Amino acid sequence: MKNTELTRWARRLKNSQGQPAYRLIADLIAEDVDSGRLQARDRLPPLRDLANATGINYTTAARAYSEAKNRGLIDSHPGSGTFVKGKTAPIRPSSGSYEMTMNLMVEPAIPTLVEQIRDSAIGVLAQKDLYSMLRYQAFGGNKENKEAALIWLDQRLPSPQAEQLLICPGIHSALIGLMSTLVEKHQVLCVESLVYPGIKAIAAHLGIGLLSLESDSDGLLVRPFEEACKQGNVAAIYLNPTIQNPTTSTMSLSRREAIADVCLRYNVQIIEDDAYTMLAEQAPISFAELAPDLTWYITGTSKCFGPGVRSAFMHTPSKRHSQRLAAAMRALHVMSSPLTDALVTQWILDGTAEKMLQATRREAIARLRIAEPLLGLKNIRSAEGAFHLWMSIPKTSDWNSSELAVQLRDIGLSAVSSAAFSTDNNPPNAIRLCFGGPISREQWEDNLHQMADLIAQPSYMATGMH
């Protein structure tokens, strides 16, 4: 690295207005990598030389390199020095540890409820013709499956119809079918600036463009959405309006009405992912009620029985739309599991599903109450019944969301950085914290105490500590 570059850095540091020096140096490294002034494998000055040349102390220089390393800009090896890593080539989303991306449901430790689920499942196997559940089925579920699904949907939709209903092998699978069917190559799918990561992965795989739109605490902003629709290439909008993943926000009725009005005027299809709606005590009316001719409504049972029970219910705009989508879904997924469908049907009909839902909700609320005083109400957003919360990292902390999420996973907390959800490449300094999965309230509280201690210490002291 040339001395002239260090002189330029020193000048920028002198003229900075309140930004911490260590973060500014990391920004300068990023700028120089982007501009080409720094190339991969270029050697950076030793810490003492950096400190002397820029007028900072040795500790600040060490923090600057630590920040740049956390951002993936540089690498260092004892005895060899510090080198630029350069730009990282984009890659397709990969399937990592489930804790990195998945929102695990709360598992109520109620022996009588667990026994009821088990007995109900045994009853299905005992009463049914086993071979009938091992054969190929027409896509979309049989008559009995649909009757049970309609009971479930009746809690959210005014008059669900069997001819508009498809039983799908999970919400994610339903989204793949919808996105591949509704969005042409030259069109875009509108999404919020923070979105369920599965949408990003599906879009990348299918080559679909995502148009990120600004949101506030009430959900997606209407004016930017309408301006996008005026361009004429918006095929659909993806919405997760009730207990949104990751922010836990629930869109108000007035905002829903305004967005539905835009969709009706510009004939934009609505993908309404209502995965978490049953966890809410009350939710505003659905887009399927506000704009029934445009809305593809999806919900399911995985949020009260777990992802191992991959069963989703999709209510389409019409019978014709159901037939069209069923053909596409059959090509993609063949069918949902008849055995899973039979279990879910039985659990809905005998009341097991409702008991599990209520138990999950009660346990989620209890765990949220534990978190609120420990994390601070001003730092978190959540909703009663949700099993995740959205936490803004305090401005007094020097942690960034990516490095904090890594450290939290090391102590057993299911934390995901805001970058995983961002669609505008400008993620806030925040994390999603899931408090579901196979943990007890005691373990959750203990982990939160460890988290508070971790946040209280400087990030550069924790880097590399496990």
CA dist list (Å): 133 to 46, 141, 279, 326: 67, 12, 30, 20
Given a contact cutoff of 8 angstroms between Cβ atoms, the answer to whether 93 and 200 are in contact is yes
Do both 156 and 254 map to the same domain? yes
Q: For the CA atoms of 310, 140, 270, 383, what is the dihedral angle to 10 degrees?
A: -30
Do both 348 and 369 map to the same domain? no
**Per-residue pLDDT, 79:** 66
Q: Among 368, 448, 461, 364, which residue's Cα sits nearest to residue 412?
A: 448
Do both 244 and 338 map to the same domain? yes
CA dist list (Å): 440 to 106, 230, 408, 436, 446: 10, 50, 17, 9, 10
Residue 219's DSSP bridge partners are 216
Do both 366 and 349 map to the same domain? no
Do both 236 and 381 map to the same domain? no
d(CA 394, CA 147): 49
Q: State the residue range of the domain holding 445.
A: 360-462
Q: For the CA atoms of 152, 153, 157, 158, what is the dihedral angle to 10 degrees?
A: -60
| Residue 94, domain member (yes or no) | no
**Per-residue pLDDT, 437:** 82
Do both 180 and 289 map to the same domain? yes
| Residue 104, domain member (yes or no) | no
Where residue 227 sits, what CATH number does that domain have? 3.40.640.10
The total number of structural domains in the chain stands at 3
Q: Among 229, 220, 167, 178, which residue's Cα sits nearest to residue 203?
A: 178
Q: Which of 327, 353, 379 delimits the end of a domain? A: 353
| Residue 101, domain member (yes or no) | no
Q: For the CA atoms of 52, 55, 59, 65, what is the dihedral angle to 10 degrees?
A: -80
Q: 93: which 2 tokens?
A: 């989303």
d(CA 267, CA 153): 25
pLDDT of the chain along its 466 residues, tens only?
777 888 889 988 888 777 889 989 988 988 888 788 888 778 899 999 999 999 999 999 989 988 888 777 888 766 678 888 765 443 333 333 333 356 777 787 788 888 888 888 888 888 767 777 777 787 888 899 999 999 999 989 999 999 999 999 989 999 999 999 999 988 999 999 999 999 999 999 999 999 999 899 899 999 999 999 998 999 999 999 999 999 999 999 999 999 999 999 999 999 999 999 998 988 889 999 999 999 999 998 877 777 777 889 999 999 999 999 988 888 888 878 888 888 899 899 989 889 989 999 999 999 999 999 999 888 999 999 999 999 999 888 888 898 899 899 888 899 999 999 999 888 899 999 999 888 889 999 999 999 988 888 877 666 544 4
d(CA 64, CA 258): 46
| Residue 408, domain member (yes or no) | yes
| Residue 90, domain member (yes or no) | no
d(CA 30, CA 36): 10
CA dist list (Å): 394 to 194, 254, 306, 366: 19, 31, 32, 24
What's the sign of the alpha-carbon dihedral 155, 106, 364, 452? negative
Do both 128 and 200 map to the same domain? yes
| Residue 192, domain member (yes or no) | yes
**Per-residue pLDDT, 377:** 87
Q: Which of 22, 49, 84 delimits the end of a domain? A: 84
Given a contact cutoff of 8 angstroms between Cβ atoms, the answer to whether 267 and 300 are in contact is no
Do both 395 and 309 map to the same domain? no
DSSP3 helix / strand / coil % (the chain, rounded to 5): 50, 15, 35
Do both 181 and 312 map to the same domain? yes
Where residue 16 sits, what CATH number does that domain have? 1.10.10.10
Which residues have a Cβ under 8 Å from the Cβ of 441 and sit 6 or more positions away? 366, 367, 370
| Residue 326, domain member (yes or no) | yes
Where residue 369 sits, what CATH number does that domain have? 3.90.1150.10
R_g of the chain computed on alpha carbons: 25
**Per-residue pLDDT, 138:** 79
Given a contact cutoff of 8 angstroms between Cβ atoms, the answer to whether 209 and 203 are in contact is yes
Instruction: Using CB atoms within 10 Å of the CB of residue 143, give its burial: 0 to 12 exposed, 13 to 18 middle, 19+ buried.
Output: exposed
What's the sign of the alpha-carbon dihedral 366, 370, 375, 378? positive
| Residue 375, domain member (yes or no) | yes
What's the sign of the alpha-carbon dihedral 436, 438, 441, 442? negative
Do both 284 and 310 map to the same domain? yes
Q: Which of 333, 353, 373 delimits the end of a domain? A: 353
d(CA 204, CA 181): 15
Do both 264 and 402 map to the same domain? no
Which residues have a Cβ under 8 Å from the Cβ of 95 and sit 6 or more positions away? none
d(CA 259, CA 215): 12
Given a contact cutoff of 8 angstroms between Cβ atoms, the answer to whether 314 and 297 are in contact is yes
d(CA 81, CA 270): 53
**Per-residue pLDDT, 35:** 80
What's the sign of the alpha-carbon dihedral 196, 411, 393, 26? negative
Q: Among 442, 456, 432, 447, which residue's Cα sits nearest to residue 381?
A: 432
Residue 271's DSSP bridge partners are 238, 296
Do both 70 and 142 map to the same domain? no
pTM here is: 0.75
